[in-house]
A and B are shown apart, each in its own frame.
Chain A
Amino acid sequence: MSLTVNRAGLGARRGDGPAGWLFTLPVIVVLGLFMLVPVLMALWVSFSDWTGRGSPLAPGTGFVGFENYAAITSGGGLAERNFGIAMRNNAWYALLVVPLQTGLSLGLALLVNRAVLRGRGFFRTAFYFPSVTSSVAITVLWLFLFSTSGAVNQVLSWIGVNGPNWFNEPAGIVHVALGNPEGPAFLTGSDFLGVSWWDWLSGPSVAMSALILMAVFTTSGTFMLLFLAALQNIGPELDEAGRMDGASAWQRFWRITLPQLRPALFTVLTLGLIGCWQVFDQIYTGTQGGPGKTTVTPAYLSYEAAFTDQAWGQGAAISFVLFAVIVVFTLFQRWVLRERDASKRVEKRIAKGAKA
């Protein structure tokens, strides 16, 4: 859309072109120098055998094709297994965080949007507060809350639950729920990315679950704000019309409010998904990937591979695979939430209603 606008603009006033470029030049230079160039250099590193000394563009650095990508996706080595573990961890993280934070933020937005709620301002601020606090501070807070003798386990003990040693428990929650059985042979026998199918299905570890709760806690305030803005844009007419037609509160939410929130929903899901696949600070400051590598994420693994293990090419390759993953998921989501199909369905229903 913006493309057509630009073209129209250029066509209408050709003389403004140089001035336009001049005004955008500072941003282009800054973004180019600090984003585009580093990204392209990282792309080159992911295809090179750069060892971390001197410039990656110096003559000594050779092109190795897809060697780094092959090392992390095949070959059966430790690099592949680490990457598989990181993908497993992050997939579960995204799978749980995205729906939970979207649901919670929508619920909070609906609550604080109600005109009758007393102290709306207070609740809006309170729910938004975790979002403006630094993730490092919240991670440290979380480490204390979820320590063996921390507040969470104290509260659990009141209801007779012997809480786990949260940040030191590598067992996956699906495995725990099943009672930690030996996996069936058809799942343990074969693997993907060096991790057996049984381990793919382990669920997030108890430690990762605590981080999942943290992500939901910190991000739902931001997304609540997006939903709230969208809700305030919805006029009351349709809702009143629905009321006149005798629709229940649930029907009005499901059939009238939610469809109008689709653009906001798409934004929240997309931002949530991207954020989920980029988890780094919580791991870096909190768990360092432990216990048992169950909180290693691809973003953290990329950092570790490069800075700690001097495998710069592999580190860069991991980040580009991660980029591809994010793009694929976003496109998929766009396809699922596409507008066209739904309006056709509505048209059909309207047509049917007219016939009847």
Chain B
Amino acid sequence: MGSSRRTALAAGGAAVAAALALTGCGQGFDDAEDDSEGLTSSDDALTILYGASGEAETRAIEAALAAWSEESGVEATAVAATNMDQELSQGFAAGSPPDLFYLAPEKLAGYAENGSLEPYGDLLSNKDDFYPSLVQNFTLDSEFYCAPKDSSTLALVINTDMWAEAGLTDADIPTTWDQLDTVAAALTSGDRAGLAFGAEYQRVGAFMAGAGGRLVSEDGTTAVADSPENLEALEYVKGHLEDGTFAYAADLGAGWGGEAFGKGLAAMTIEGNWITGGLSADFPDVNYRVVELPAGPAGQGTLQFTNCWGMAADSPNQEAALDLVEYLTSADQQLAFSAAFGPMPSALSAADRWSADNPDLAAFLAGADYATGVPTAAGSAEVVSDMNAQLESLATGDPAAILASVQGNLEAVVG
């Protein structure tokens, strides 16, 4: 027995050595050291990895790429990701990532840290045309990494039929939390909640913003989660979850706020501008209007979400990719995307035309003026998902304890 174990060990050692030798060829992947001096240039075709919200987005992106290819003579293929994180990671590890890809701000730091991303923001000819708050999301150590491709904010969506049924009028549109209490109570009946939203920071955080709270300070250097402002917001939400006028979508048996709203399980919801697409596809008969979120004790507040066009450091044809980003983020192209599948433009020069084209959705764009972004430090996505897990049981939980644990977790990743 003893000798066979020794033999096994020796065999294992030999296997390790063999494995190292075998995979030695993998080292060739890492040859290009990035100094971000200049962009790479070649005749290679571009690959674009995107996460499609539906058929409309796929068609719009393919049309835009075809138009650009014709103009530039560079071939570009769009690949829809089924699992963005996984496919990107595999690409980076293998040294053959897509040239351009959708990138969420909370993923930026992780990929930037390991050198997978090419920071190209300052090379853009239209870099001054983006909302500064969006650019902030994609700036790390004062380096502007990638161009925001769109923007969205949260607003209050109201079912107008239920609104009228409850005897409410335009004059009752809530502009403060107190007024929100009143209409939510008036709209709550039987199994129907007045206001429904997802049990996550990405929705509940809008109340924190209204109370003047944030998770991370504006300059991104300090964790400020356990502030009295955040506590006030969570206690406000908790109180209404308890009295039944607010409800989490999941507790109503819906996957997200839009579904609870569409199914009539709630009379109001807090969602972003993507809800319009969801409602017209799945619940075309629901009549609704969108208004700005009521102001909290600290004034108006909402959350802002965005993605950028990430560029791979290992891309062999970055110059063409840069040209493609400029094309895709131009005001005209963004308005075309907006018309096709609903995102709000990230370009300032497109704002007026967008508002004119979408008068019903003006509340979303208005929110961009006072919106707060989500934390972007490396590791903060994990902290937020832990916070979301705790927010699920906010109704029975202790807001102060939740915030204290979030603060502890954030301090470990911020600064």
Contacts and interface: CB of A to CB of B under 8 A. Distances in A.
Interface of A: 3, 32-33, 36-37, 40-41, 51-60, 77-78, 81-82, 147-149, 165, 168, 170-171, 180, 290-293, 306-310
A43 to B, nearest CB: 8
A54 B93 contact: yes
A55 B389 contact: no
Interface in B360-415: 378-379, 381-383, 386, 389-390, 392-393, 396, 409, 412
Nearest to A76: B408
Interface of B: 4, 15-16, 18-20, 22-24, 26-27, 29-30, 85-86, 89, 92-93, 95, 110-111, 113-116, 250-253, 378-379, 381-383, 386, 389-390, 392-393, 396, 409, 412
Given A290-B392, A306-B89, A53 B26 contact: no
Nearest to A284: B83
B382 A309 contact: yes
12 contacts: A36-B19, A37-B22, A53-B92, A54-B26, A58-B29, A58-B30, A165-B251, A168-B392, A170-B393, A292-B389, A293-B386, A308-B382
Nearest 9 interchain pairs by C-beta: A148-B253, A55-B26, A51-B114, A54-B30, A310-B110, A168-B250, A58-B30, A53-B114, A292-B389
A147 to B, nearest CB: 6
B389 A147 contact: no
B116 A52 contact: yes
B392 A78 contact: no
Contacts of B114: 51-53, 310
Contacts of B253: 147-149, 165
A179 to B, nearest CB: 13
A55 B409 contact: no
A149 B254 CA distance: 10
A292 to B, nearest CB: 4
Contacts of A170: 389, 392-393
Given A165-B250, A168-B250, A41 B113 contact: no
Contact of A291 (B16, B252, B392): B392
B392 A40 contact: no
Contact of B379 (A51, A57, A307, A309): A309
A78 to B, nearest CB: 5
A54 B389 contact: no
Contact of A58 (B22, B27, B89, B378): B27
B24 A57 contact: yes
A309 B110 CA distance: 7
A334 to B, nearest CB: 15
B251 to A, nearest CB: 6
Contacts of A40: 15-16, 19
Contacts of B381: 308-309
Contacts of B16: 40
A54 B29 contact: yes
A281 B16 CA distance: 30
Given A36-B19, A40-B16, A55-B29, A78 B409 contact: yes
Contacts of B412: 77-78
Given A309-B110, A309-B381, 10 more contacts: A32-B18, A37-B23, A52-B92, A55-B93, A78-B386, A148-B252, A170-B393, A171-B393, A291-B389, A291-B392
Given A37-B23, A78-B412, A310-B110, A53 B93 contact: yes
A54 to B, nearest CB: 4
Contacts of A290: 389, 392
B250 A307 contact: no
A38 to B, nearest CB: 9
A81 B19 CA distance: 34
